[in-house]
Structure 1
Amino acid sequence: MKKTTQFLMMAVAFLFTTVIMAQSTVTGTLIDAELNAPLPGANIVEKGTTNGTTSDFDGKFSLKTENRSGQIVVSYVGYAPVTLSFNGNSNVGSIKLVSDNSLDEIVIVGSGVIDLAEGRKTPIAVSTIKAIQIQEKTGTSDLPEILKSTPSVQSVQKGGFGEGQLFLRGFDQTNTAFLLNGQPINGVEDGKMYWSNWSGVLDVAKAVQVQRGLGSSKLAISSVGGTVNIVTKTIDKKEGGFVQQMIGNDNYTKTTASYSTGLMESGWAFTALLGHWQGEGYADHTDGQGQTYFLSLGYKPNENNIFNFMVTGAPQWHAASGYNTLKTYLEKGRRYNFAYTGVNSPNNISGGFYPTGRNVYHKPVANLSWDLTINDKSSLSTVLYASLGRGGFGSTMSSSGVPTYVRGSNNNHNWYGLVANYNNQLTENLSLNAGADVRLYNGIHFRGVNEFLSISSLNSSSDYNGGSYVITKTYGGLNPWGLLFNPNNDHAQRIHGYYDYEEKINYTGVFGQLEYTKDQFSAFFQGSASTQSHFRTEYGEAQNKGQAEDSDKINNTGFNAKAGAAYNINDNNIVFVNAGYYSRQPYHSDLFINDRSSNQLNPFVEGNQKITGFEAGYKLLGDKVSANINLYHTTWDNKIDYSSRDTDSDGLADEFTKTSPLKQVHMGAELEIFTRPVDKLNINGFLSIGNWEYRGNITSRTTDDTGAVIAEGDISYIDGVKVGEAAQFTAGISADYEFLPRLKLGANWNQYDNLYGAADFGSAEFKTENNRGSIKLPSYDTVDAGLSYKMLLGKNDQNSLQFRVNVNNVFGEVYIENSRDNIHVDSGDVAWKGVNVKNGVWFGYGRTWNVSMRYNF
């Protein structure tokens, strides 16, 4: 009996030991290959078993296997799976996952000039929208709508296709820098952004990163509110493509197709994408139509060199949406749009109603990139780019109530540039980044005839070269392709008496960054300096009679400096601080009194604008919960407003009024939370609390053209007045759940409050110390929802068919998204939700929807 007991005990011990010996632990970190960022929530399964785990918010995982050796399979929705072998306890290191959606396995070319936050150890306030999210949520909307569920971002749609605006930390688009693969794309003359010119950018976007505040960009750019980096596809590693069809509300339809050869054995790769869209628009008579094209030719001769040539464009036209008073919308509905002439044009390319105004533009962008790996410590990235913009705004002109012709206000340009960046890992702890930014810009602005309606020629109302003339030709008409290849370069066929001028703006900048990292500590310093020249040629002044007149050449310099530090308390907790100062040159539009009629300089431009920013942040990286907290304080100072008046109608200003000093202070706090409470369920949220105000009172001084003071001391009491047009409180919750394999339902709720109208400081409202400040608009909230399903097809499930349904503003919330006026409610006035109905406003869209089907091969 004793021997039997001993035998059984030895057998149990042997079996137990065998089980223990058969097990092992595999650890590693999952990384997004394109953005070099941790990938939380990925699935890691021991092959041939149901044993698995998921990566935490730092991308890390630990899996206790059932077998001593074997394979693990790493998978994540939207990424290609990876299979790895293990033998015993092992750390497989960093595993890079690449996308397997429409933007298959992209190599980021020109990565050295694309300032993504992940390229630096010291953190910033940042949110990144990946390709799979862009693909799912993009419908009929432009980029600002895709970003509305990120902290301190507000999107204002304003009616027509491509007319939306983005506000970041309360600053408009002229104070937010937009970059396309590292190339600045804000308007050179005034910093503005027109999303109608970039309507196809989401079709080719790999990722969009919103860097709030100081950001990580090293260029001397207008990033007061922040920087938005748009990264497009370039070279695809694998052969494949997709075909997609989308339909939406108001007869919207969009067809897109893409194909890539993949990176061939010869080292060459080619990718092409073509698309067409058209629709009637949500607001009345705001139909539009456009195309998207994207061509990329890459060459990788060896591991040290990657070349890529890319050209992309989005030619489009869309009817404009005018603003209305609140009273008009309440009477006629929020879709009402008066911008319609009441007639059809015989040559109208839409074949329907003719609007009072139509935007027509074609802005192809081409760039040539070269990534050179010099050695294991240094590299050089260079991007040459060019943009040829052609188009403008067509306004219908009438005589005795009969439309006669379409007058085109053309804004053409030729823009060339270079961005180069050299990176060197100087020591184990210190890295250097340095480069140059060159921009050469020629703007061409004039009015001409885009289309004849009831007449066949136009007698000019002013002289040209000493005599009257007749306009008989149209150039490009209302077709964006025609405008590109047939612009009006004949001054004798332009409408003088309005404007006809060109400007040349040349910019040269240098930048650099040092970053030090050791153990848990990191710190950086960035600096840039730039010089900018402005030169203007006037053709259209009546007194010139068509002869060119050149302005004086204006040169100005600017710089910025940023520094920051971070400390990793442990693997899950990071704190950081950043500070920066910008000395920003005035825009070209600030330098001239009236850039549409003369070369007359603005006498009130005194030095650069001054922007000071401070930020602090905390990052929590946990297994189930991750969070970012950011605090910021931004001061925008030395902003000058001015006006001019021509008192004797000679085409030159005689009186100038300067308003100064104008100072804005924006401060606030932001919170982002990401959770994965159970497998296949994501619940995220954000909260932004801002306090954006004007500081100090402003005074006005009026002088004549000799500088003699006509009036002085007119005070506007604006201290403490709220900055309007964007909500100072935003919050949101989003969730998505894969309740069946590849069948996912998601929704997001957004709340907006503390939204104010635009303040007109010249109005009587601000001439008294007891003014009531900016009007407050009603708070509102919206709910969006989406459902997607992916069906696997073909051998080894390598092809797929995807279905997606999106419904925006599910409950049809009626809300004012913006007000251009600041009219308070007085006794006897009519109000709606506390807003005087005399205010000119924009209503947000009601319920909209889109459905898409996409075949990936």
Structure 2
Amino acid sequence: MKKTLLTLTFVSVLSLCVMAQQSISGRVLDASTQQPVAGANVSLLHSPQATVSDADGKFILSGLKAKDYVLQISFVGYETSRKTFTISDKDLDLSVSLQAGQQLNEAVIVSATRANSKSAVAYTNLSEKDIKAQNLGQDLPYLANFTPSVVVTSDAGAGVGYTGIRIRGNDIARTNITLNGIPVNEAESHVAYFVDLPDLASSVDNIQIQRGLGTSTNGAGAFGSSMNIQTTTLQRDAYAEANNTYGSFNTWKHTARFGTGLLNNRWAFDARLSKVTSDGYMDRANSDLKSFYTSGAYYGNKSLLKFVVMSGKETTYQAWNGVPESRVKGDKAAMQAYIDRNGLSAEDADNLLNSGRTYNSFTYKNQTDNYQQDYYQLHYSKELSPVWNLNLSAHYTKGGGYYEELKPNQSFSKYGLDNVTIGDSTITSTDLIRRRWLQTDYYGLTYSSAYQHGAWNFVLGGGAYGYKGHHFGEVVWAKYASNSSMEHRYYENRARKHDINTYFKTYFAANSNVDLFLDLQHRNVYYSFLGYNRDLESVQQSVSYNFFNPKVGFTYRLNPNNSVYAFGGIGNKEPNRDDLINSTPTSRPKAENLQNIEAGYRFADKKLSFSANYFLMNYKNQLVLTGKINDVGEYTRTNIAKSYRTGIEAEAAWNITDQLRWSVNVTLSQNRVIDFNEYVDNYDSGEQQQTVHSKADIAFSPRLLGGSVLSYSPLKNLTLNWQSKYVGKQYLDNTQNEARKMDAYWVNDLRINYIVKTSLLNEIAVTGLVSNIFDVKYVSNGYTYSYIYDDVRTDENFYFPQAGINFMLGVNVKF
């Protein structure tokens, strides 16, 4: 039924057709030289209609009804121009002169790694307005929840604390994250932890999400998606804001922001201080998050120098073990069986039986994750000439922290300790509390230079990065101390990584309708780590990789309202830390390879915008968990020869009336592993049982995804938003087994935004959000493992339940 409704919804949007009436055309010129400005962004405010000027500076927008419009034209290095005009019964032809900007805009910092209408890739932009309307303290992935092909999840169940995002089924480790063009993904695990930057959204100006390989970027290559984030840009007027949010599960967000505006036409300073706390939906899954952001910038006539410092500190109670399937379903007999086969203590069994779907297996009061990251960025941009600019950035990220856990019945030998002898008894194990530490230093330089001449646009960029990681574990308490000392260090290893990438992009306007795109990247990776050699000795060793990642595409404008595009590219990605340290040179996995094809259609006029994108992501040597134990006794990811994702993404926005707008997106996809070998431990024989699966669905890859936002503005400053998200069935592993899956779910939210302007205060913005308004009981993430004992196979499934109906209310006062 849900699939039928989504399909009917989608078809109804496709069937809409708005007849063009009048058009506006014109030419964009440099005010001083009267030369054409190619590539200028031309749009109508409060309308989806937009285009870019061609090599002769010409543009056209059609399908306009008789009314007043505001035309906005912008281009890097120029002041944005806005012209108000009226369409009557005739077409208009305008000449627009752009004045060279007095201050260089921060857009130049991220422009080299951003996609545009000429890039022939699938992307979505989130503006500052979009972000502010949703920002109530939830983690950054939740701001992208209603964009195409996205699934978000939360360990604590309500979006505060550890969260995750998948785009086209690709997890965060395969998504390239940059912050002002600086890489964010952790160099060894490839994961970006947004919990380490609490309330980052309050200092974000815009976000671009690219799906597929996308354009070349900095850091670990995008291997399915990328998220390009830009923080606060120039606010010309001084401001101060106080934001407070309260919500379910005793969730609080307190944020204070201020900025000086542009001082002496040269200087600007911005700052933010935030604190977010929540008890979490899951038992004991509380979060205590603190962060700040500061920036200072000098805006010269043709240059920009900006220094950014931000920091986040998080303490979260662990909820990453999930909930056993029997507890989620409330099956008492199955829960008792789980207790018996896993040997739970009386205390743990009581916790399981009496907790409900919010069960958390951890009960030790300080079972917490504690981490802090400090970011330092220095950006310099220079306009060398009207057609040539240069960007240089230096960065340093300092990270440090640990997670603490109670571990019962641990062997002394595992911690390098002696057995304890008391009288005639020898004790070989003990209960203990341990901390596992990670301290990191990540530093580097990025650069880009863009040159435009006539129909050609060239970009040369890249970066060089260094990383040092110090991993160690400490025993901070033990029931039997043995021969340990205070904070006994039971393991320690150090890693170093170097990453150098260079990319060259060119856009060529073959004529007024055709744009060609070429993107070539070379990436060199060197990684030194403590791992096993062929003799199973733990020694320092290293690996290196050289990747060539080419991409090519074209865009063809059929007319001002319709365009088509096609894209083809190749990407490569190195194994992560766990893949390497838990293997030998014999069993070491290969790098992954992705061949990506995209093709799409875009339409936009005053009332309706629509796009459809076909994608094929063909993997070679994709790394997945198979259950196989390698030559060092570890369950590591294994290369599988062939797998693929293919499907269609479609999105549309319809301005039904001036007060009513509907945005909808749908993804239909097929995600398959061609041949998958599953390995299950057989405790009866001491071996592993192998099962071959052919053309099974890739784990965590729903075939159907849908999102919808219906917005109604009955009053000028009041907007009511009905938000819907549908996520199809997902499997927990690559066997497509119905016993190991997550059911589909459809969740609806109601969001209200109301803005009041007064003579005393600049603005009071009230945001209310009721999430999961129909109280759907659903899970958004999970994992599984299996074993055979007494000739019986057991599948242990664990899930992460999400909160039922809950609310948040935020008030932002701007002075």
TM-score when scaled to structure 2? 0.78
- Higher mean C-alpha deviation, range 181-190 or range 324-333: 324-333
2:814 pairs with 1:814: no
Over residues 360-412 of structure 1, what are the superposed CA-to-partner deviations in whole Å (9 max), with x where a residue is unaligned?
A: 11111110000111001111111111100011211135689xx9875221111
**Alignment correspondent of 1:311:** 309
**Alignment correspondent of 1:447:** 473
2:374 pairs with 1:364: yes
Give 1:200-219 correspondences, 5 Å limit.
Answer: 200-219=199-218
Provide structure 1 residue ranges, at least 5 long, that are not aligned to the other structure: 1-23, 43-53, 99-104, 342-353, 462-467, 472-492, 595-600, 648-652, 703-710, 760-765, 830-835
Q: C-alpha distance in 2, partners of 1:307/1:132?
A: 26
User: Which one of the candidate residues 644, 653, 674 is aligned to 1:665?
Assistant: 644
Deviation at 1:624, TM superposition (A): 0.9
Deviation at 1:718, TM superposition (A): 2.4
Q: C-alpha distance in 1, partners of 2:65/2:678?
A: 68
**Alignment correspondent of 2:14:** none
Q: C-alpha distance in 1, partners of 2:567/2:431?
A: 58
Over residues 210-252 of structure 1, what are the superposed CA-to-partner deviations in whole Å (9 max), with x where a residue is unaligned?
A: 1100212344633222111111114322211211111111111
Deviation at 1:748, TM superposition (A): 1.0
Q: C-alpha distance in 2, partners of 1:627/1:94?
A: 31
Q: Which amino acid aligns with 2:441?
A: N
Structure having greater relative contact order (Cα 8 Å, sep ≥ 6):
2
Deviation at 1:550, TM superposition (A): 5.9
**Alignment correspondent of 1:844:** 802
Q: Which amino acid aligns with 1:197?
A: D
Q: C-alpha distance in 1, partners of 2:258/2:637?
A: 56
Q: C-alpha distance in 2, partners of 1:330/1:713?
A: 30
Give 1:104-503 correspondences, 5 Å limit.
Answer: 107-108=105-106, 111-112=109-110, 115-118=113-116, 121-159=118-156, 161-219=160-218, 221-265=220-264, 267-300=266-299, 302-321=300-319, 322-331=321-330, 332-341=355-364, 354-355=365-366, 357-397=367-407, 406-425=433-452, 427-448=453-474, 459=481, 468-471=483-486, 493-496=487-490, 499-503=491-495
Q: Is the 8 A contact 2:765 2:811 kept in 1?
A: yes
**Alignment correspondent of 1:512:** 504
Q: C-alpha distance in 1, partners of 2:464/2:50?
A: 39
Deviation at 1:445, TM superposition (A): 0.7
Q: Is the 8 A contact 1:501 1:538 kept in 2?
A: no
Q: Is the 8 A contact 1:214 1:579 kept in 2?
A: no
Give 1:532-543 correspondences, 5 Å limit.
Answer: 532-536=525-529
Q: C-alpha distance in 2, partners of 1:317/1:823?
A: 32
2:744 pairs with 1:750: no
Q: Is the 8 A contact 2:556 2:565 kept in 1?
A: yes
Q: Is the 8 A contact 1:700 1:712 kept in 2?
A: no
Q: Is the 8 A contact 1:140 1:850 kept in 2?
A: no
Q: C-alpha distance in 2, partners of 1:85/1:113?
A: 28
Deviation at 1:660, TM superposition (A): 4.9
Residue 694 of structure 2 aligns to a residue whose secondary structure is coil
Q: Is the 8 A contact 1:25 1:65 kept in 2?
A: no
Change beyond 3 A, Cα 1:199–1:94: farther
**Alignment correspondent of 2:653:** 674
Q: Which amino acid aligns with 1:556?
A: Y
2:576 pairs with 1:587: yes
Residue 113 of structure 2 aligns to a residue whose secondary structure is coil
Give 1:6-85 correspondences, 5 Å limit.
Answer: 42=46, 56=49
**Alignment correspondent of 1:525:** 518
Q: C-alpha distance in 2, partners of 1:670/1:532?
A: 33
Q: Which amino acid aligns with 1:780?
A: Y
How many residues get paired? 705
- Among all aligned residue pairs of Structure 1 and Structure 2, give the percentage whose two residues are the same amino acid: 19
Q: Is the 8 A contact 1:558 1:585 kept in 2?
A: no
Change beyond 3 A, Cα 1:252–1:837: farther
Change beyond 3 A, Cα 1:656–1:574: closer
Q: C-alpha distance in 1, partners of 2:133/2:654?
A: 20
Deviation at 1:254, TM superposition (A): 1.2
Residue 243 of structure 1 aligns to a residue whose secondary structure is strand
**Alignment correspondent of 2:419:** none
Q: Which amino acid aligns with 2:797?
A: N
Q: C-alpha distance in 2, partners of 1:392/1:125?
A: 38
**Alignment correspondent of 1:639:** 622
**Alignment correspondent of 2:347:** none
- Higher mean C-alpha deviation, range 367-376 or range 279-288: 279-288
Deviation at 1:340, TM superposition (A): 1.6
Q: C-alpha distance in 2, partners of 1:845/1:29?
A: 53
Q: C-alpha distance in 1, partners of 2:630/2:613?
A: 49
Q: Is the radius of gyration larger for structure 1 or structure 2?
A: 1
Residue 159 of structure 1 aligns to a residue whose secondary structure is coil
Deviation at 1:58, TM superposition (A): 5.4
Provide structure 2 residue ranges, at least 5 long, that are not aligned to the other structure: 1-21, 29-38, 53-60, 74-78, 331-354, 411-429
Q: C-alpha distance in 2, partners of 1:188/1:74?
A: 41
Q: C-alpha distance in 2, partners of 1:700/1:394?
A: 32
Deviation at 1:195, TM superposition (A): 2.4
**Alignment correspondent of 1:782:** 747
Q: C-alpha distance in 2, partners of 1:308/1:287?
A: 36
Change beyond 3 A, Cα 1:750–1:37: farther
User: Which one of the candidate residues 598, 614, 628 is aligned to 2:597?
Assistant: 614
Q: C-alpha distance in 2, partners of 1:376/1:557?
A: 36
TM-score when scaled to structure 1? 0.75
Q: C-alpha distance in 1, partners of 2:595/2:677?
A: 20
Q: Which amino acid aligns with 2:253?
A: K
Deviation at 1:744, TM superposition (A): 1.2
Change beyond 3 A, Cα 1:131–1:259: same
Residue 804 of structure 2 aligns to a residue whose secondary structure is coil
Q: Is the 8 A contact 2:392 2:446 kept in 1?
A: yes
Over residues 44-90 of structure 1, what are the superposed CA-to-partner deviations in whole Å (9 max), with x where a residue is unaligned?
A: xxxxxxxxxx6746595868789xxxx98999xxxx99985889977
Q: Is the 8 A contact 2:178 2:218 kept in 1?
A: no
Deviation at 1:441, TM superposition (A): 0.1
Give 1:761-776 correspondences, 5 Å limit.
Answer: 772=737, 775-776=740-741
User: Which one of the candidate residues 547, 563, 583 is aligned to 1:574?
Assistant: 563
Q: Which amino acid aligns with 1:91?
A: L
Residue 134 of structure 1 aligns to a residue whose secondary structure is helix
Q: Is the 8 A contact 2:379 2:393 kept in 1?
A: yes
Q: C-alpha distance in 1, partners of 2:66/2:107?
A: 38
Q: Is the 8 A contact 2:199 2:276 kept in 1?
A: no
Residue 340 of structure 1 aligns to a residue whose secondary structure is coil
